[in-house]
Structure 1
Amino acid sequence: MSGWSELDWFLRTDPRDVGCDEALRLLHVYVDLVVPDASGEAASRYPGIAAHLAACGPCTEDYQGLLAAVTGQDHA
């Protein structure tokens, strides 16, 4: 493998993506906005977290787990 696919993936990263550290630091706030309001307010108020969750599987799993814990439902 030449590494071009990894480079191409990296270059397509959303510039709004805040990264794992910031996303996990504010994940509980993001979930608190998602739970009572399914209108997308969380994504509009925290677009960097939404962009990160769209790209990062491990953080998305953490998000889904926290959401399930808060709502008592499986969101996988």
Structure 2
Amino acid sequence: KTSPKTNTAKEQRDKDDSSSEEEKQWFTTKEKLLKRLEKKQECPSVDDAKRAKIVSEFIEKRSDGPQIRLR
């Protein structure tokens, strides 16, 4: 039998690993989005509203459903 402390430590390690993996994925995703926006910024016709639309579309694609806007 293994002690509960060993299981807890292993679970914590697994949780930390998955957390860091998730952080890496979000960092990579953020970098890709920033590069996309930089390309868009090269064109002078792209203004803040259009960039905001690109970001909101990206977020909506990544989420399970449409975002609810709080006012």
Structure of greater Rg: 2
Q: Same fold (TM over 0.5)?
A: no
Q: TM-score when scaled to structure 1?
A: 0.29
**Higher fraction of helix:** 2
Comparing both chains, which one has the higher relative contact order based on Cα–Cα distances under 8 Å and sequence gaps of 6 or more? 1
